Amino acid sequence: MEFKATREAYGKALVELGEKNEKVVVLDADLSGSTKSKEFQKVFENRFFNMGIAEANMAGVAAGMALSGLRPYASSFAVFITGRAFEIVRQSICYQNLHVVLCGSHSGISVGEDGGSHQSVCDIALMRALPNMKVVVPADYNETYLAVLESINWDGPVYIRTSRAKSPVFINKEKFELGRFDVLKEGDNLTLVACGMMVHLALEVSKLLEKNGIKAEVINASSIKPLDEETLFNSAKKTNLVITIEEHSIIGGLGSAVSEFLSENLPTRVKRIGLNDVFGESGSKDDLFCKYGFTKEKLTEEIKKTLKV
Amino acid sequence: MGEFDNLERIARDLRKDILIMLNKAGSGHSGGSLSVLDILVALYFGGIMNYDPENPEWEDRDRLVLSKGHACPALYAVLAKAGFFEKGLLWTLRKLGSPLQGHPDSKKLKGIDAATGSLGNGITQAVGMALAGKVLKKRYKVFCVMGDGELQEGVVWEAFMAANHYKLNNLIVIIDYNGLQIDGAVANVMNINPLKDKLEAFGFRTYEIGGHVYKNLIDTLTTAKRNALSPTAIIARTVKGYGVSFMANRVEYHGVAPTDEELKKALKELDNGV
């Protein structure tokens, strides 16, 4: 199996967008090599703007550019572009419903050694709470590429979350559709709803569960806002138990979005798996995933425990 | 008759509109609206800005970002006078359903180029507009009107740094320097001086002028429009509550609307040209 980081797809898609549309401009805050926006700079020097280590100003500048008819893509680490710049993202981008695409790379704990200060465990929560904002967490390189290409056609603000760590490339589809979940595997004992790097892991978990006679439905929830309510409703109705898995705090992210919808529309038991209201710490990606329970063995155990309750 | 009598007459009428609007709304910012008004009148009626009220989204228009968004009653009065909308709309300020929001909203009212209110955000958008003008090869200018207290926000200096870095000669920042903020004198709450030195250190060609003197405003803005080398900053010394004796230089009138009695008194003063 091929392994590639989702941030690589961001850089590649930006170049393609730049070729198709001369209104596309790209901004970064001194992390263009890491976020991969540098790929765009290499080809379109005149449409790339490094704003320096000043994420809040970058967000406002992107808003001003969108108001003037450009199509800005702005990137930084997920923790900074959502947190540091939050107020301007809210006031200047979301309040005016401007078409600005924000890309937060190095999300979750998989960024590893830099530690908790650089790991982003509540970016989805922050962005999801903003009116007009769309939140996309692609599962792999292919899906990220498609989502970034498609984002030029969406109205209003968009947050796309990417990762530094290489992860399996396994999604095969033609087009990314906002507001649509993909059912990757059918099952009727329980539903696993995952996003980002957790989607492939959920598929692995489903194989282990199958050995125990448990058939899990696996859903890729790459469009967290808008949520694919129909797919979620149908699956929950069938399995009656939904387990969410995300590389994010269990507060405010995918698990919350799923719980909010189901509690109002089809009260179903939901178990949220993610970071239990804690910051991350330094360590390798694999060591951290092991410590916080993101391995197929630990997830399988956790799910089996949930089934017994 | 002086050269700028006409602008002064317009400003006197608009001061009355501002006070009536605020009185009808029952809340809003009197002091800062009165201090900034002459700057806006100079921009819109002094032959400085290119705009077309019939085509408010004209892409070659000059942009105005009122970064001190709380002074929007002044901008609303100016836009109505310039023909962007019916004057009657002014009396709906801050009321449910009105396009005249408590702070300017570009999505609700024609003629508002950027939503502002949270201090410091306006200048960041103005820098983006000026940069976009470069990318799109447009000749428009971006005027950003800021408060002096607003300069305490850190993001303002991020924006100034970027304006210099990208040599935004199409950006003209005008600081409504009235010296007062909610909690008292700017110098006492958090001193921003030496301001001219700071702005120059950030690469702005900087002027200090009297902000209620039309000759100063028009001459300096005209010069600023011709500056091809750098962004321009104009520190316009103003008086909070200017034009109404009992509001002038009084911090208490920062965020307060005139009562019926105060309105009557103020209108009388303005009529008598005190």
Percent of chain B with pLDDT over 90: 97
Residue of A45, A92, A99, A130 to mutate, interface with B, max B Cβ within 10 Å: A92
**A137, A108 Cβ separation under 8 angstroms:** no
* Per-chain mean pLDDT for chain A: 98
Which residues is B21 bridged to in the sheet? none
| Nearest by Cα to B56 from B87, B21, B18, B82 | B82
Determine, for residues B127 and A49 on separate chains, whether the beta-carbon distance falls below 8 Å: no
Determine, for residues A87 and B118 on separate chains, whether the beta-carbon distance falls below 8 Å: yes
ipTM of the predicted structure? Answer: 0.95
Give me the pLDDT at residue B3, please: 84
Give yes or no for residue A4 having a pLDDT over 90. yes
Give yes or no for residue B203 having a pLDDT over 70. yes
Q: In this complex, is the C-beta atom of B129 within 8 Å of any C-beta atom belonging to chain A?
A: yes
Q: Which two tokens stand for residue B178?
A: 């009235």
Determine, for residues A70 and B166 on separate chains, whether the beta-carbon distance falls below 8 Å: no
C-alpha Rg value of chain A to the nearest Å = 19
Determine, for residues A54 and B158 on separate chains, whether the beta-carbon distance falls below 8 Å: yes
| Per-residue pLDDT reduced to its tens digit, A108-124 | 999 999 999 999 999 99
Query: Which residue in chain B has the smallest CA separation from A53?
Result: B158
A66 chain-B contacts, CB cut-off 8 A: 128
Give me the pLDDT at residue B273, please: 72
CA dihedral sign, ordered A221, A226, A228, A229: positive
Buried b (16+ CB within 10 A) or exposed e, B6-39: ebeebbeebbbbbbbbbbbbeebbbbbbbbbbbb
Determine, for residues A60 and B128 on separate chains, whether the beta-carbon distance falls below 8 Å: yes
Q: In this complex, is the C-beta atom of B118 within 8 Å of any C-beta atom belonging to chain A?
A: yes
Give me the pLDDT at residue B89, please: 98
B113 chain-A contacts, CB cut-off 8 A: 67
Percent of chain A with pLDDT over 70: 100
| Mean pLDDT (whole number) for A168-193 | 98
Give yes or no for residue A309 having a pLDDT over 90. no
Active site annotation includes A55: yes
Give me the pLDDT at residue B1, please: 54
Residue of B113, B116, B135 to mutate, interface with A, max A Cβ within 10 Å: B135
| Per-residue pLDDT reduced to its tens digit, A68-108 | 999 999 999 999 999 999 999 999 999 999 999 999 999 99
Query: Per the confidence metrics, is the pTM higher than 0.80?
Result: yes
- Distance CA(B53)–CA(A86), nearest Å, equals 34
User: Which pLDDT band, with edges at 50, 70 and 90, does A35 fall under?
Assistant: very high
| Mean pLDDT (whole number) for A56-63 | 98
Give yes or no for residue B247 having a pLDDT over 70. yes
User: Which pLDDT band, with edges at 50, 70 and 90, does A194 fall under?
Assistant: very high
Nearest-Cα distance to chain A for B136, in Å, is: 8
At B191, which amino acid appears?
Answer: N
Q: Return residues 78-97 of A near B (CB < 8 Å).
A: 87-88, 91-92, 95-97
SS3 of residue B258 by DSSP: coil
**A288, A110 Cβ separation under 8 angstroms:** yes
Determine, for residues B128 and A46 on separate chains, whether the beta-carbon distance falls below 8 Å: no
Percent of chain B with pLDDT over 70: 99
Q: In this complex, is the C-beta atom of B132 within 8 Å of any C-beta atom belonging to chain A?
A: yes
* Per-chain mean pLDDT for chain B: 97
Number of neighbouring beta carbons within 10 Å of residue A80:
22
Determine, for residues B135 and A70 on separate chains, whether the beta-carbon distance falls below 8 Å: yes
| Mean pLDDT (whole number) for A169-184 | 97
Give yes or no for residue B68 having a pLDDT over 60. yes
| Mean pLDDT (whole number) for A50-72 | 98
| Per-residue pLDDT reduced to its tens digit, B94-121 | 999 999 999 999 999 999 999 999 999 9
A72 chain-B contacts, CB cut-off 8 A: 128
Q: How far is CA B108 from the centre of its chain?
A: 19
Give me the pLDDT at residue B272, please: 87
**A58, A51 Cβ separation under 8 angstroms:** yes
At B170, which amino acid appears?
Answer: N
Which candidate from B107, B129, B130 shows the least CB-CB separation from A96? B107
| Mean pLDDT (whole number) for B241-264 | 95
Give me the pLDDT at residue B2, please: 77
